[in-house]
Amino acid sequence: MTRRKLIAGNWKMNGLTGHLDEVRAISEGSRDGAIDIDILLCPPATLIRPISDMLSEGGHVQVGGQNCHKAEKGAHTGEVSAEMLRDAGATHVILGHSERRADHGEGNDTVRDKLAAAHRAGLVAVVCIGETLAQREAGETLTVLGDQLAGSLHDDVSPSDTVIAYEPVWAIGTGKTASPDDVAEVHKHLRQRLGERFGEERGQGFRLLYGGSVQPGNAAALMAVADVDGALVGGASLKAQDFLAICEAARNCR
């Protein structure tokens, strides 16, 4: 099955209105090749509306949030609902990132509740899973990832509303990257687990992204790995030149 590659940029807690020039450069620089891959930018919530307004002019780059609350509205000071993200112009939302799991104690049940909220609002969810260095060294990688995958998804997910992103925790922002062989082993396992739970045809449809210090220099090798359907890019997505280079690598590996 041919799955369209997706390159998603997670800006994390970075970006002010002055960074809109980088967004404009990404939009303009990817215009000719955007028919070949999907491109997504996930800025801080404060920038979703201005970026959405800017991107609507070209229409080939989408914008997403980095988190949402499980409730539609209510007394949840400081939180943002999936409906609010949608109203601001978002089409996607990242859920279960390791920084949310570690810093805010979000477990699989919380991620699953937020996933239901994202789908309720009509957002595509990018669900993140990943093992720590201690878990990898203990030989627990596939078990940990299998448990996170099973616990974070509800039974009604589909390839059209859910993307899975594998981000080894030890590779996020460290400059370390899993080897292509390591990534191939994990993505093969995830594909198998998806097929077992949802059926072969449905399981083959989910896009599996790799994340963790993805850079222009390693993007081509990672995008060429079987069952890698794109990337969740951190720091490199803040610079148009770097992000566009990663997009180009994905296009060349279709």
Q: Is 119 a catalytic residue?
A: no
Q: Is 79 a catalytic residue?
A: no
Query: Could you tell me if 228 and 209 are in contact, meaning their C-beta atoms sit under 8 angstroms apart?
Result: yes
Query: What is the Cα gyration radius of the chain?
Result: 17
Catalytic annotation, pick one of 19, 69, 92, 97: 97
Tokens 């993307």 correspond to: 163
230-233/92-95 β-pairing: unpaired
Helix (H) or strand (E) holding 176: none
Helix (H) or strand (E) holding 68: none
DSSP code for 81: B
Residues 6+ apart with CB under 8 A from 18: none
The 3-class secondary structure across 28-41, one letter per residue, is: HHCCCCCCCCEEEE
Catalytic annotation, pick one of 167, 187, 189, 248: 167
Query: Where in the sequence numbering do the catalytic residues fall?
Result: 97, 167
